Structure 1
Amino acid sequence: MSRSHRVAVLVLDGAKPLDVGVPAQVFSARPSMPYELRVCGVAAGVVAGGEGLAYQVSSGLETLGWADTVMIPGYRTPAEVDPPAEVVEALRDAHARGARLAAISTGAFALAATGLLDGRRATTHWHYTQALRARYPRIRVDENVLFVDEGSLLSSAGGASALDLCLHLVRRDHGVALSNHVARRLVAAPYRSGGQAQFVPRSVPEPLGELYASTREWALAHLDEPITVADLARHARVSPRTFSRHFVEDTGYTPMQWVLRARVDLARELLESSELPIEQIAAHAGLGTGANLRLHFQRVLGTSPSEYRRTFTRGA
């Protein structure tokens, strides 16, 4: 049996509570989770946090040499205060050794200080994107996304998007079934694309969210059937045009983009957990034929259903 994936959460001075708490919750040690978690600082002891909080950490930067993934939570005044030189060096060493580095919110400034993001895409909280761009002009800062995955270097917008990033990592490591399990445990949406906007341009009326959540639940229960925008709008009891407009505002997807993602995710789960042939999986997921499933799998995930299944069979 392979060992658990090791995750270090690096708490810097001024660390934001949500940014620390989300990865600690997602990757917490429990029977269902193939992860081992350690929270560390520059040195063992008390680390002053944001919002008047403090963190007691049991280890220092040596933990980064142990980790397979290093999470870097956001911290206060990132544009004015450089991360300690020993932090920058430890992050570089961890990455050179093969560790994956993932910054949450303003943690992107500490990751940027390593130079590893030069020439790459990255994001941070929308309030700090201009400061990140000005301070590190070689980085291609994208202010309109929830998170960016550059392979071994990842970054997220902060706040609730920390959860999107962490669920994305679980999905990448162990598939959609475990990611959905974690989302259910945390009472969170199982999937929001990294390409979704950081915020919507105007507020959505409160009753709308509840009504459309019910429609999404209905759609998930009928993925093996033909579903049109008209069907969704009929269930939501609004016109197709109104439904489409508000659905994009509420989710970041058009209705049919969302349905396609849901179908691909169902196919992924069936590939991971069953031995059903590709044609049957395509039918169960509402994708029609094996050829159609292969087409959408390649477009969405950049791989084939067969290779995806082999990957998770090897990982079993």
Structure 2
Amino acid sequence: MTARTADLSDGHLPRPGRLSDVKGWFFTADQLLFDWFLARQEDRAEPGDLLELGAYLGKSAIFMGARLRPGDRFTVCDLFDSPAEDASNSKEMAKSYATLTRRAFEANYLAFHDELPEIVQGLSSSVAQHVEPGSCRFAHIDASHLYEHVHGDIVTVRDLLTPQGVVVLDDFRAEHCPGVAAATWQAVTGLALRPICITPTKFYGTWGDPAPVQAALLAWLTGREGVWHEVQEVNGAPLIRLSAKNAKEPAHPVSRHRTEAARDAAPAAAASSASSASGARTPARAAASRPAAARARRSPARRLAVNVLPPFITKAVVAARRRSAAR
């Protein structure tokens, strides 16, 4: 991993205080499932690294990074602000990801983590040059929406996963990118990809045996508040379908900006509390401590002047009253 500290002084970059502040499409159901799959792999001491193809501004990568174990490698591959090599891909980048830059991704990621992942800036087809075959336990494909690219990414990831590794495909059912759906289900029928479950936006599968994973997932889902699920049969095999419209998002990861804000606020809150305890007069307390007669001195005419008349007339009226009172 590349050691890097976060530069928190650049006012031109966003300072996300929580994951929801990072722009992107990573919804509650998928946050819960990413967390469950990665935690299960950790509990079972399954070997392997993490991989993401297509990062946008880092929302899902930040989440995956929170489950990175010591010694694991996390590789993120994205074009970022590099030009695409074909016209159709360039058109899609310009339409959907015009604000995408590597610097924005790094700023967001470093708001939550001390080190950046291994970043491959380039086409997703180049990732095999940087990641060893059979080395990844979890891969998230969210790069191009074009059929030929998604198909290529699936084939590449198949070779990079461990035997029981899990692949997640984004936008497998979105109407604006039918190429993803075609590549996903073709992998099921023609490349032996075996479905585990689906959410409204993502497909989860494996080239290993999905049965133990599905059994464990169903046990976890049973009775879980805010999460709905059912089991359907697709291509002769069970498929879990779930949604989590009323569920709470996982509590992690936590932004360093949020913790720093809390740390900075603590001395001020303590000083305010001490000041109140010692009887120090804040503006509000000072106003409250004035004698009632003094607060009542404003006549109806003066209150009207303060609230209605232009400021320069009000000032003149007040000055005249002060001169009259001083005589």
Pair in the same fold by TM > 0.5 = no
Question: Higher relative contact order by CA 8 Å / sep ≥ 6: 1 or 2?
Answer: 2
TM-score (norm 1): 0.32
User: Higher strand share goes to which structure?
Assistant: 2
TM-score (norm 2): 0.31
